[in-house]
Amino acid sequence: MTTSAHHTNLRFQIWAVVIGVLLMGIKFFAWWLTNSNAILTDALESIINVLAGLFAVFSLVITAKPKDANHPYGHGKIEFIAAGFEGGLIALAGLLIIGKSFYNFIFPQPLDKLDIGLGLTAFSGLANFALGYFLVRQGKKSHSLTLQADGKHLLSDAYSSAGLLVGIALLLLTGAVWLDNLTAVAFGFVILYTGFKLLRSSVSGIMDEADPDIIRPLVKVMAEHRKYNWVDVHNFRVIRYGASMHVDCHLTVPWFFNVEQGHQEVKQLENIIQSVNPVPVELFIHADPCRPPAACSICIKEDCAHRQAPFEAAIPWTLENLLFERNHQDLR
């Protein structure tokens, strides 16, 4: 990601925090007026919005720092920590909302001025939806996990607000006070689920879990541009560092190639991967020599003067095949 893109993301995230503080004030005012647990769910999540937004600002500042001796791959991993922190706070808010709502099933409390609360909740929900949509779009455009996580959080808050509006409207129509607590419990579980999803995504990134959605497009373009000197690709791995990626794999080339020829094949593969990626990619490709006669049966190089066995069938380059840690010739 370029420096200007980092500055743009940071500016958007700061504005998201400022707007979040204003919306938090509106929601707590609505709760103070109404004494509604359903509206309190919105207000409590707003605290999480602001705290998570502040941490997102911090993570974007850290991510923008260049690589150094202590962080040779950069500081992008902080984005996964930011997403995990936000997910934990969201899950905590969900638990608090569920707990308070069950308490008020046993010890109900009077409600007041729900029509005003309904209007304030509708306004804040629309504002969160617009802000969340904008952050997700900008995050995808700049490949920032932090902006996408914060945007999805705000979108989930907006969806929750929409459900709360339905619950409050039914409460106004029926006068059934227990609907307030039931609505709060339902959306407490929705918020809890959202938090755990973000935590899961964060842990996956920190643990460098293979992400098929990232790897599959790379495998597809490699298969489409496969060269006849490329006997095999294996041990294919992709690691995310914020908006940047590190790709490493083993490329099997004919055993009789000299160092310069092998290097040219590696560069061709690097250029293909680089050309289709909108984010910075750091590549480490290790060249392996083929081992006749086993390799000959899967080698598509027709003009090979050193072939020791007839060609049988090329191994298709798929997500599953390229993740193997051994040459495909050893797996036949």
Distance CA 295, CA 232 (A): 9
Q: In this structure, how many other beta carbons lie within 10 angstroms of the beta carbon of residue 281? A: 17
Pick the CATH number of 3-206 from 3.40.630.30, 3.50.50.60, 1.10.1060.10, 1.20.1510.10: 1.20.1510.10
102-149 pLDDT, tens digit per residue, is 877 777 766 777 778 778 888 888 988 998 888 888 887 776 767 777
Residue spans per domain, the chain: 3-206, 212-330
Residues 6+ apart with CB under 8 A from 106: none
- HSE-up of residue 119 (Cα within 13 Å, Cβ side): 4
199-218 pLDDT, tens digit per residue, is 887 777 766 666 777 788 88
Q: In this structure, how many other beta carbons lie within 10 angstroms of the beta carbon of residue 290? A: 24
Q: Is the per-residue pLDDT at 84 higher than 90?
A: no
What is the arithmetic mean of pLDDT over 54-62? 76
| 292, 309 contact by CB (below 8 A) | yes
| 61, 169 contact by CB (below 8 A) | no
Q: Do domains 3-206 and 212-330 have the same CATH topology?
A: no
Residues 6+ apart with CB under 8 A from 57: 10, 13, 14, 17
What integer pLDDT is reported at residue 278 of this predicted model?
A: 64
Distance CA 57, CA 20 (A): 13
What integer pLDDT is reported at residue 208 of this predicted model?
A: 63
304-330 pLDDT, tens digit per residue, is 889 998 988 888 888 878 877 666 655
Q: Is the per-residue pLDDT at 332 higher than 60?
A: no
Which H/E stretch holds residue 285?
strand 281-289
Instruction: Please provide the distance, in angstroms rounded to a whole number, between the alpha carbons at the two ends of the chain.
Output: 42
Name the CATH architecture for the domain at 212-330.
2-Layer Sandwich (3.30)
Q: Is the per-residue pLDDT at 246 higher than 90?
A: no
